[in-house]
Structure 1
Amino acid sequence: MSFSKQNRKGTLSGVIFVAIFAAAATLVADLKFVSSLGISPLVIGIVMGIFYANTLHNQTPNEWRRGITFSAKKVLRFAIVFYGFRITFQQIAEVGIDGFMVSLIMLTTTFILGIYLGVKVFKMDRDTSMLTAAGASVCGAAAVLATEPVLKAQEHKTAVAVSMVVLFGTIAMFLYPLLYSAGIFDMTSREFGIYVGGTIHEVAQVVAVPASIPGADAEMANDAIIVKMTRVIMIAPMLIILGIYLSYTAKREGGETGGIKLVIPWFAVYFVAMAGFNSLEIVPQNIVDVINDIDTFLLTMAMTALGMGTRFSMFKGLGLAPLYTAFGMFVWLVVGGYFITKWVVATF
């Protein structure tokens, strides 16, 4: 046990060690240049963690490893639950059925496409394919983190998926304003807001796109953020369905008969419950803001700890398959998302 009497000191030391790295990542992310690029502390944290894993990991006591693992597993689940404080059901209701449908269609199609491209076309392993698909289809790095415990994936596979999210999410953040300002996207302000929220990877990147368009109105920004939050909350049912699928697959491949043992990622259920509690608006907004700041720090700790378990030698054999898979999903999000948004808004 991590906090048994004999392991407690090493575990605490490891957790504190990760927290120091996460604090440094937070400070770097707050720098004006870094924040202007929409780079979250989660991304800075995993980069710092990977740097440590490939340079200084032999300089720290082995007993600290339990604390690093605790941060990557237990702290992660706790942080995902409290991620629900970023969402209210009232916000999701505001965007209407068209915003909901765009979120649902883009999440479902992108996730399925990512798994198909990864496993069938580019011959990647299942876990890396699913993690990469989750990051592109739902909410970037946070979705990758939330999916990792369901798959029980190795740290380096999570790192690969996050790196793809960072690459193509950053490209989208700069590409969308250029295409919209040039008139290539023939969309109203509302349509473009829904399109941005339904297709761009990270929440921070969704916020940055309307802010970088001269003359963009408040409706565009609000619709983009609310549609994005709709995608975020959909991670809970997605993970539950994924858990059911994995349970069924494990039974089938094991050749067992009888009932299928259902594995439910309870942290995803608690995440929805937390969002429901937040929807009651009992907690004052200033306290919610503090909770979200703490939660971001905990997510940064988890991401940093995952990076600390990632060695470059683990990437051997993957080749360019993750890049090709992520690029295929990116093309679908940009092109397919445009036509899906136009069709849904016209229909609903």
Structure 2
Amino acid sequence: MNTSTLTTTSRPVKTPPPLLAGLALSALIAAAAIAAARIDWLQSHGFSALTLAIVLGMLAGNLGYQRIAPSCAAGVNFSKQNLLRLGIILYGFRLTFQDIGHVGLSGVLIDVLVLCSTFGMALLLGTRVFKLDRETAMLIGAGSSICGAAAVMATEPVLRAKPAQVTVAVATVVVFGSLAIFLYPLLYQLNLHWQFLAASPQAYGIFTGSTVHEVAQVVAAARAISPDAANTAVITKMVRVMMLAPFLMLLSAYISKKSCAARKAGSSAQGRLAIPWFAFGFVAIVALNSLHLLPSALVSHANDADNVLLAMAMAALGISTHFSSLRTAGVKPLVFAAVLFGWLIVGGALINMLVLRWLG
């Protein structure tokens, strides 16, 4: 008898993990979130499909998911990793380089200064004052300084953060971004009296777009002021979103440098640079969309597909998060995010005032 034949035939055959069940669960929750996001009351209060998807996902993940986890885990992980990256790439169809021209040099500079100051403050205060782990501080900083939940999710692969850390960061975006929807129209009325910023709706639109967390929240807050403020706010916000790709590349280089510095002195080993390749895809799609070569219907379908992909990723993240892990995080992340929110209002207003007076 040939022993090699026995060895070959007795070796277990590896089969690929089933993705269908987890993908179907993520898609079902995403569909429910997208449908709910069309409700007028939720739209007017800035609740996007992404926000609702993670909430519904958390409910599903904590109410009986463990019974079906063995068959769904692979598909859920695929959704929150691979589909997320594809969703960020397709997010580029919402932007063009021409958007920069609509807000001018002053709007771009304001966005850059708000982003850099907010994330720098997050990195400094989060780890040294609030004693948070680096990943949570950076995720909250990314969500506050760029574009809310989408920025948090895009930053997660670079940091290799845990689902609970990502969920805590997204929660802060939901809380303070929702608060901004009601607060910013009140601040506009106060500004008409005190004239701290230029009183025009356009100037206040730049302030709103450069400091509010989510795109949906920017729209809700600015529409309460005027259509002109809303248009300017959305364009300013889109320019801020466009900074996501260079931010991820710089963050990856920073993480690699810190990894090198943490090694013992005299070691010749280098830290591994985790290149966020999907960020390059994001920029490529923005460049393609800027050429206006694609039919508007195709771009619209791409945006619809992107909504589904990102909602599935958020749903999968919610499924993977347990309430016990959020309780473990405590109130520190919320207080920390409140400090950043205060900076976005006060520091952001100061940046807007100085830049607009300097550049007109």
TM over 0.5: yes
Query: What is the deviation of 1:83?
Result: 0.4
Residue deviations 1:62-98, cap 9 Å, x none?
Answer: 0220000000000000100110000000111221000
Residue deviations 1:289-333, cap 9 Å, x none?
Answer: 121111011100000101111012223442211111101111111
* Closer/same/farther in 2, CA of residues 184 and 237 from structure 1, 3 Å limit: farther
Among 232, 241, 246, the residue aligned to 1:237: 246
Aligned residue identity for 1:121 = V
Work out whether residues 72 and 303 of structure 1, in 8 Å CA contact, stay in contact via their aligned partners in 2: yes
SS state of the match for residue 15, structure 2? Answer: coil
Aligned residue identity for 1:330 = F
Work out whether residues 251 and 257 of structure 1, in 8 Å CA contact, stay in contact via their aligned partners in 2: no
Matched with 2:112 is 104
Superposition map of 1:157-172 within 5 A? 157-172=165-180
Aligned residue identity for 1:200 = V
Work out whether residues 236 and 271 of structure 1, in 8 Å CA contact, stay in contact via their aligned partners in 2: yes
Give, in whole Å, the separation in 2 of the partners of 1:79 and 1:157: 20
SS state of the match for residue 62, structure 1? Answer: helix
How many positions carry a matched residue from both structures? 341
Among 59, 62, 72, the residue aligned to 1:64: 72
Matched with 2:164 is 156
SS state of the match for residue 329, structure 2? Answer: coil
Matched with 1:251 is 260
Give, in whole Å, the separation in 1 of the partners of 2:187 and 2:86: 39
Work out whether residues 255 and 273 of structure 2, in 8 Å CA contact, stay in contact via their aligned partners in 1: no
Aligned residue identity for 1:193 = G
Query: What is the deviation of 1:257?
Result: 2.1
Matched with 1:210 is 222
Q: Does residue 189 of structure 1 match 2:201?
A: yes
Matched with 2:235 is 226
* Closer/same/farther in 2, CA of residues 79 and 122 from structure 1, 3 Å limit: same
SS state of the match for residue 153, structure 1? Answer: coil
Matched with 2:56 is 48
Matched with 1:270 is 281
Work out whether residues 99 and 194 of structure 1, in 8 Å CA contact, stay in contact via their aligned partners in 2: yes
Residue deviations 1:266-300, cap 9 Å, x none?
Answer: 11111011101100011122221121111011100
Matched with 1:117 is 125
Matched with 1:139 is 147
* Closer/same/farther in 2, CA of residues 12 and 184 from structure 1, 3 Å limit: farther
Give, in whole Å, the separation in 1 of the partners of 2:343 and 2:69: 46
Q: Does residue 343 of structure 1 match 2:354?
A: yes
Work out whether residues 37 and 48 of structure 2, in 8 Å CA contact, stay in contact via their aligned partners in 1: yes
Work out whether residues 172 and 337 of structure 2, in 8 Å CA contact, stay in contact via their aligned partners in 1: yes
Matched with 2:290 is 279
Give, in whole Å, the separation in 1 of the partners of 2:230 and 2:39: 23
Unaligned 5+ runs, structure 1? none
**What is the alpha-carbon root mean square deviation over aligned residues?**
1.6
Give, in whole Å, the separation in 2 of the partners of 1:235 and 1:106: 13
Query: What is the deviation of 1:5?
Result: 7.4
SS state of the match for residue 185, structure 2? Answer: helix
Matched with 1:6 is 15
Percent identical across equivalent pairs? 43
Residue deviations 1:171-217, cap 9 Å, x none?
Answer: 1111111121343562222211110110000101111222112xx25
Give, in whole Å, the separation in 2 of the partners of 1:150 and 1:65: 22
SS state of the match for residue 95, structure 1? Answer: helix
Aligned residue identity for 1:176 = Y
- TM-score, length of structure 1 as denominator length: 0.94
Give, in whole Å, the separation in 1 of the partners of 2:156 and 2:269: 28
Work out whether residues 124 and 318 of structure 1, in 8 Å CA contact, stay in contact via their aligned partners in 2: no
Work out whether residues 193 and 222 of structure 1, in 8 Å CA contact, stay in contact via their aligned partners in 2: yes
* Closer/same/farther in 2, CA of residues 17 and 317 from structure 1, 3 Å limit: closer
Q: From the CA coordinates, give the structure whose radius of gyration is larger.
A: 2
- TM-score, length of structure 2 as denominator length: 0.91
Work out whether residues 118 and 321 of structure 1, in 8 Å CA contact, stay in contact via their aligned partners in 2: no
Unaligned 5+ runs, structure 2? 1-12
Query: What is the deviation of 1:155?
Result: 0.5
Among 287, 291, 303, the residue aligned to 1:292: 303
Give, in whole Å, the separation in 1 of the partners of 2:81 and 2:227: 41
